[in-house]
Amino acid sequence: MKAQSGISLSNAAVAATPKHLLQFAVDQRYDDYTSVDHAVWRFIMRQNVFFLREYAHKVYFQGLLDTGISFERIPRIEEMNEILGKIGWGAVAVDGFIPPAAFMEFQAYKVLVIACDMRQIHHIEYTPAPDIVHEAAGHAPIIVDREYSKYLQRFGEVGAKAMSSKKDFELYQSIRHLSILKEQPNSDPKEVEEATKLVETRQKNLGEPSEMALLSRLHWWTVEYGLIGTLENPKIYGAGLLSSIGESVSCLEPAVKKIPYSIDAMNQPFDITTKQPQLFVCRDFEHLRNVLEEFAGKMAYQVGGLEGINKAIECKNAATCEYSSGLQVSGVFTEVLTDKKKQPIYLRTTGKTALAFKDKELPGHGIDYHKDGFGSPIGNWKPTDLKEGKKAKLEFESGVTVEGKVDKLLQRDGKLLLISFSNCTAKYGDRVLFDPSWGNYDMAVGDRITSVFNGAADKDAYNQVALVPKERTIKVPSDAKRKKLESLYAQVRQIRESKKGYERLGEIWETQQAEHPVDWLLSMEIFEILDTTNQQPELKSRIEKFLNNKKAQTKDLTTLIGWGFRLVEYHKKPEYQAALQASPK
């Protein structure tokens, strides 16, 4: 079964994902992948098998097989959902970077977001933008480990609650823009330079990092760029490393500093568009969970109180304050009054506000009813008799007074959540907090604020439209010349898979040499076929000479072509053939 947007609802995890998240989902548009895209995928995946068998965490290679990811072609999201569904996870396609809060919340629902762009050949070693190699071949295989998948889900739950700031979102937008420019084949260097400066400026002027900014660093140094084991002999588990054939090799070199992982990693900023100068090494996946819980214990959603309310005010976005009764107030918080002991005694929102209990909106208390904001005391009042239809005066220990006719006492699970008054006045000293002319007064009940977290409690009911990025990732234009190159790649693929038509390889190579002299990967694919089949030794020798010349003349290709030759030798070995046979086609 599919939703209209192309989202597969046959996967239980995806089907359970709320609407406000699914607005980020896009169609994978599988048929838009070209034969060049599939060739780039194949090169990366086969290199990964060669290198990562020794250097990745032991679960990675088994995970590649278990998640049904082919070494030969880009995977379909529907196929991945079939496999991921067996371990309780799912996947949706998205367009490039999505906001961190949304990314985290998807994780909480056990859904991987997969950026479906495919990196271009000039970024085959490392891409500055998220792509399907990073998501499908980096993230997906590791989650077959039960301990790790629990960590990932828990991180999502914690991250979805993290308070963020306006500056966080501005930084996210500038990073997304820079990554799109860097992945564009013919981007203007001046434009890239300006975008880089904007990222650097916004990073320097973040001020005190928000919970989300700090948590994003912990996510980066574990889920994306984490190492595991000992400092002397760490293994790779971070998806950013697993999906980068360049950095997966260089990250283990002595030049990259290895630091024992701890909560202090939250103080280490990162640059998303370049290789990392240092990495953190955890002992095991349980170690990750312990550090996460240590961080979570200090967050507003667990601490609440004045500190939490102030974070809600600072973020200038929808947030939720939860009273000790369980009543949740969701809106944009603008003010908190405190007593002489600096304890919060009254809070206020401005604009659309909703009331909820256990993350479900209370009937009649949505944003249409509370469209002009909400204000309510916090704390205990002196004992008084409360009856519906009778007048009452509540005198709070803080000095706040609320006086009016009690229209309704709202209870849930045996607790009083809300008192609705008519003809009501609320005061604190000489200050009028609520006047009868303003309408009816709904007063939250609770002696303290126990939790403060990002976003509305019931996001779908609150109609919290996520800030879906307007700037789309850039698809490489496919002109007539490019289409001819794609056709050559498709022909070579057909010959390799059908094991027929080897005599045409010479003509294909000559065409590539004449019309696409910059390309090297097609030559490597033809060389591999000739080596495997022991055919046309003269042609093989000419191609080898061409590749060696490229290797010598072009610095960027020295390593890549060297790896290509190494792989041709390796693929003859029994262990590689066994791995290839195990991989889905």
Contact 351, 331 (CB under 8 A): yes
Contact 276, 256 (CB under 8 A): yes
Q: What is the C-alpha to C-alpha distance for residues 218 and 335, in angstroms, rounded to an integer?
A: 31
pLDDT in tens, the chain (585 residues): 444 444 666 899 999 999 889 888 888 889 999 999 999 999 988 888 788 888 899 899 888 878 878 889 999 999 889 888 988 999 999 887 787 888 899 999 999 998 888 887 877 776 666 678 887 888 888 998 999 999 999 999 999 999 987 777 777 778 777 776 766 667 788 888 888 888 878 877 777 888 998 998 999 999 999 999 999 999 999 988 888 777 787 888 999 999 999 999 999 988 766 778 999 999 999 999 999 999 999 999 999 999 999 999 988 889 999 999 999 999 999 999 999 999 999 999 999 999 999 999 999 999 999 999 999 999 999 999 999 999 999 999 999 999 999 999 999 999 999 999 999 999 999 999 999 999 999 999 999 999 999 999 999 899 755 555 554 554 555 678 889 999 999 999 999 999 999 999 999 999 999 999 999 999 999 999 999 999 999 999 999 999 999 999 888 889 889 989 988 887 666 655 565 555 555
Contact 113, 89 (CB under 8 A): no
Q: What is the C-alpha to C-alpha distance for residues 140 and 68, in angstroms, rounded to an integer?
A: 10
The single-letter code of the amino acid at 584 is P
The single-letter code of the amino acid at 130 is P
Q: Is 16 helix (H, G, I), strand (E, B) or coil?
A: coil
Burial label for 466, CB within 10 Å (0-12, 13-18, 19+), is middle
Strands annotated E in 358-430:
360-361, 374-377, 391-395, 400-412, 415-428
CA angle 20, 23, 25 (to 5 degrees): 130
Q: What is the C-alpha to C-alpha distance for residues 338 and 336, in angstroms, rounded to an integer?
A: 7
CA angle 38, 42, 43 (to 5 degrees): 120
Q: What is the C-alpha to C-alpha distance for residues 64 and 70, in angstroms, rounded to an integer?
A: 8
The single-letter code of the amino acid at 201 is T
Burial label for 248, CB within 10 Å (0-12, 13-18, 19+), is buried
The single-letter code of the amino acid at 409 is L
110 is written with which tokens?
């056990």
What are the φ and ψ backbone dihedral angles of 3, each rounded to 5 degrees?
-75, 165
Measuring CA to CA, how many Å separate 322 from each of 242, 338, 378?
A: 40, 17, 11
Burial of 550-566, coded b for 16+ CB within 10 Å and e otherwise, reads bbeeeeebeebbebbbe
Pairing state of beta strands 234-236 and 227-229?
antiparallel
The single-letter code of the amino acid at 493 is R
From 323, 30, 280, 330, select the one nearest 161 (Cα to Cα). 330
The single-letter code of the amino acid at 183 is E
Contact 319, 459 (CB under 8 A): no
358 is written with which tokens?
């256990």
Contact 519, 496 (CB under 8 A): no
What string of DSSP letters covers 344-377?
EEEEEEEEEEEEEETTEEPTT-STTTTTT-EEEE
Q: Which helix (H) or strand (E) holds 38?
A: helix 35-55
Q: Which helix (H) or strand (E) holds 46?
A: helix 35-55
Q: Which helix (H) or strand (E) holds 450?
A: strand 449-454
Helix axes 521-533, 537-553, angle to 10 degrees: 140
> Helix-strand-coil percent breakdown of the chain, rounded to 5?
45, 20, 35
Q: What is the C-alpha to C-alpha distance for residues 314 and 209, in angstroms, rounded to an integer?
A: 12
Reported pTM: 0.84
So what's the pLDDT on residue 510? 97
71 is written with which tokens?
């070494």
Pairing state of beta strands 278-282 and 227-229?
parallel
Contact 311, 332 (CB under 8 A): no
Measuring CA to CA, how many Å separate 203 from each of 198, 280, 313, 431, 555?
A: 8, 21, 22, 41, 32
